[in-house]
Amino acid sequence: MWRASVLTIFPEMFPGSLGISLAGKALNAGLWSLQPIDIRAHATDRHGTVDDTPAGGGPGMVMKADVLSRALDSIPPDKNNSLRPRLLMSARGAPLTQKRVAALAQGDGAVIVCGRFEGVDERLIEARRLEEVSLGDFVLSGGEIAALALLDACVRLIPGVMGKEASGVEESFADGLLEYPQYTRPAVFEGLAIPDILTSGDHAKVAKWRHSEAERLTRERRPDLWAAYQARQKPQNGPKGST
């Protein structure tokens, strides 16, 4: 079973959207598990304080290392003694990619810390070796929504969750390209028809068209992905000299 433990000051936000659709069915079927951990339960004062003023001054509050460490350390070790990746949802983290999601989905699960306020005491990040992860160059009120998105991306790749396993192979980012356009009935919608090639029955031509459209969309919308894709397509030069 793929195991997710989420540390948050709002445990009632979970499972949230993960309790419905494919993720919810998989959760009920026991393909994965979700353990929300209330960080406030590990505070030592009667107010459940989890934050304090930033050292050196400045606005906002910072999540306390001692409280968060107790919350993290309360998670029992896995049966096989393996250590699941410990992730901190953070605007300054490394951008989350489909490659990283796939690697997480192939493992035993993840421990996710949802940051709040101005951030987390740096000593906690270093002492518990947290991997900072970002959904993009924008700021949320907290890490909970980001954690839900990360979990959804991982859970859908767990074997048995998606109805058709091939559907995870041809989607955006799977091969470094954005996904090609999709169509379905009716054949004509408001004067716009499905491209003839998709109803031709020629699977080789359909595959070629889809690849061409994926390249076009990537080139137009994501120059960064297109540049990386082109770099991978260049033939690698072998060692010089006769063979």
Q: What tens digit of pLDDT does each residue of 77-98 get? A: 887 767 899 999 999 999 999 9
- The DSSP line for 15-46 is SGGGGSHHHHHHHHTTSEEEEEEEGGGG-SST
Sign, Cα dihedral of 160, 163, 165, 168 = negative
Angstrom CA distances, 153 to 99, 135, 148, 165, stand at 11, 11, 9, 14
pLDDT digits (tens, 9 = 90+) for 67-79: 999 999 999 888 7
pLDDT digits (tens, 9 = 90+) for 189-222: 999 999 999 999 999 999 999 999 999 999 999 9
Domains along the chain? 2-155 (3.40.1280.10), 172-233 (1.10.1270.20)
